[in-house]
Amino acid sequence: MNALITARGITKHFGATKALDGVDLDVFAGEVHVLLGENGAGKSTLVKVLAGIHDPDDGTIERNARLAVIHQELALVPELSVAENLFLNRLPRRFGLVDRAAMRRRAPELLDRVGLRVHPDAKVRDLGIAQQQMVEIARALDQDAGVLILDEPTAVLTGTETDRLLEIMAQLRDNGVGLVFITHHLDEIQRVADRITVLRDGRSVGVLGPRATTRHMIELMVGRPIDEQYPREQQEAGEPLLRISGLTRSGAFEDVTIEVHAGEVVGVAGLVGAGRTEVARAAFGVDDYDRGTVEVDGKPVRRHDVQAAIRAGLGLVPEDRKGQGLVLTGTVGQNLELATLANRDPRRLREIADRLRVKGHVDQPVRELSGGNQQKVVIGKWLLADPKVLILDEPTRGVDVGAKVEIYELVNRMTAQGRAVLLVSSDLPEVIGMSDRVVVMAHGRVAGELPKGATQDQVMALAVQESTA
């Protein structure tokens, strides 16, 4: 096979930290090579070394093709047109002036290569995120990039947009392009991967073929046996700990009733806009509601009062961890204390961080941690507060598979101790696999409830039903 990139023994230090330790990687023409690993495993560092952003301390790289990186944070100028972004930093000129006619002629050809149907004069700011990614890919291909590295391109895409991107990747592979694909979604890997290199703690711990099982991938990533991807340990349900009754806010949700018992995980599923997050925020007191009640352990919780909710024994891990769950300028320790505002106890903070396997010390700025480790800190502050009921809103979004399993194990420990968990998630396998019951919302209402063992088809049948309002 034609090797486009051959990397051998790549080693990279940042101070005393060894980010990469003797990593080998081959990228061949006409293949999708998945780079898999937990947050902090070395994937980003390896990409930057391959792209020439970082020089390796040791090892060799042989490049036989031009390389382009499509970062999750796209390098586009929103105020410029699609055509201008396609030729950014290399605008065609005629008589010393930008040749806009040439741009408009060539732009449709480039857009057609990635199946994107937009007008070249359209502003990039008016495109969806999936369309913006296609503009980036088209620009890279026009620069004769033989190797494309896509760094978590599906993290913010819908299912339909993800399907389209994977189709484009397959077409590029068939046209001889070598692709390096980074994702935390194992189902995507199984759909497109030709080979999978697994990194752990800066080392390559295995190269797998396209038939690799989910279990094998996870075990290589985390370095220990994993019994199953969704290791729910069902407990005998006790008394109701959370009772949301008839909760209503005009235009957002109506007559929502959900009950969660001690020792139980109740999932909340539904399409985007179904009202799941809005109900979670209202129950915790972040947002007000028009009518209804919230009770914890049989006692009413004062509405629109977060401190009252915390005193009652309620906790919330929000959907937006950076915007709502963390103080990014604070340290790990300071963020762990946010829910309690307790006197600092370094031993207790370290104990919580160790229990969650947070990679970082308590005095480290939380903004320096990976997304998965930041999420563990958000959850850790509630471990310190010791709530009776914890509401988890998209707890594993953007989190690697190893960290997901650790979060699931934490859920099991909480329910084994007699606490209750309300799990709001867009990840259907997750909400089905980790819930004892699933409440499905549609159009701001509870569309139905399903027992453990429900199928994705059953959930979706309720989630897409027409509004009766």
Per-residue pLDDT in tens (0 to 9) along the chain, 469 residues: 799 999 999 999 988 889 999 999 999 999 999 999 887 789 989 999 999 999 999 999 999 999 999 887 778 999 999 999 998 877 778 787 878 888 888 899 889 888 888 999 999 999 888 888 889 888 888 777 899 999 888 877 777 788 888 998 998 999 999 999 999 888 899 999 999 999 998 999 999 999 998 888 888 888 877 667 788 888 889 999 999 999 999 999 999 999 999 999 999 999 878 999 999 999 999 999 999 999 999 999 999 999 999 999 999 999 888 888 999 999 999 999 988 876 567 888 888 888 777 877 888 899 888 777 888 899 989 988 889 999 999 998 877 777 788 889 889 999 999 999 999 998 888 999 999 999 999 999 999 999 998 998 999 999 987 665 4
Q: What angle do CA 308, 441, 464 make, to 5 degrees?
A: 160
The residue type at 81: S
Contacts of 412 (CB under 8 A, 6+ apart): 231, 232, 233
Tally of CB atoms within 10 A around 257: 13
Token pair of 423, please? 């799990």
Q: What angle do CA 8, 214, 396 make, to 5 degrees?
A: 95
Output b/e per residue, 284-308; b: 16+ Cβ within 10 A.
Answer: bbbbebeebebbbbeeebebeeeeb
User: Helices 401-416 & 371-385, crossing angle to 10 degrees?
Assistant: 10
Domain boundaries, the chain: 3-222, 240-463
Please provide the distance, in angstroms rounded to a whole number, between the alpha carbons at the two ends of the chain. 60
H helices, E strands: number in the chain: 15, 21
pLDDT computed for residue 6 by the predictor: 97
* Phi and psi angles of residue 33, each rounded to the nearest 5 degrees, phi first: -105, 110
Token pair of 191, please? 């759909």
pLDDT computed for residue 391 by the predictor: 97
How long, in residues, is the chain? 469
Q: What angle do CA 228, 232, 238 make, to 5 degrees?
A: 165
The CA distance from 452 to 455, in Å, is 9
For the segment(s) 240-463, the CATH number from 3.40.710.10, 3.50.50.60, 3.40.50.450, 3.40.50.300 is 3.40.50.300
pLDDT computed for residue 245 by the predictor: 98
For the segment(s) 3-222, the CATH number from 3.40.50.300, 3.10.450.350, 3.40.50.2300, 3.20.20.70 is 3.40.50.300
Do the beta carbons of residue 317 and residue 304 sit within 8 Å?
A: no
Token pair of 248, please? 């209503």
- Smallest CA-to-CA distance from 77 within 64, 88, 90 is with 88
Contacts of 76 (CB under 8 A, 6+ apart): 85, 88, 124, 132, 135, 136
Token pair of 81, please? 């047109």
Same fold, 3-222 and 240-463: yes
- Smallest CA-to-CA distance from 411 within 451, 371, 383 is with 383
Strand order in the sheet with 240-249: 253-261, 240-249, 291-296, 299-300
Q: Which residue has the tokens 């980010």?
A: 19
**Helix (H) or strand (E) segment spanning residue 220:** helix 214-222
β-strand 3-14 against 420-424: which pairing, if any? unpaired
Q: Burial-class residue 38 by CB neighbours within 10 Å (0-12, 13-18, 19+).
A: buried
Do the beta carbons of residue 221 and residue 200 sit within 8 Å?
A: yes
Q: Burial-class residue 62 by CB neighbours within 10 Å (0-12, 13-18, 19+).
A: exposed
Rounded CA Rg of the chain: 24
- Smallest CA-to-CA distance from 152 within 4, 41, 44 is with 44
* CA distances to 183, 425, 430, 452, 459 from 463, in Å: 27, 13, 16, 17, 6
User: Helices 401-416 & 214-222, crossing angle to 10 degrees?
Assistant: 90
β-bridge mates for residue 439, sequence order: 268, 449
pLDDT computed for residue 448 by the predictor: 97
Contacts of 108 (CB under 8 A, 6+ apart): 120
For residue 422, the SS3 value is: strand
pLDDT computed for residue 273 by the predictor: 84
Token pair of 126, please? 């008016």
Sign of the torsion formed by the C-alpha atoms of 385, 391, 393 and 395: positive
* Phi and psi angles of residue 157, each rounded to the nearest 5 degrees, phi first: -100, 155
What is the pTM (predicted TM-score) of this model? 0.68
DSSP letters along 253-315, please? EEEEEEEEETT-EEEEE--TTSSHHHHHHHHHTSS--SEEEEEETTEE--TT-HHHHHHHTEE
The CA distance from 346 to 339, in Å, is 16
- Smallest CA-to-CA distance from 305 within 285, 278, 279 is with 285
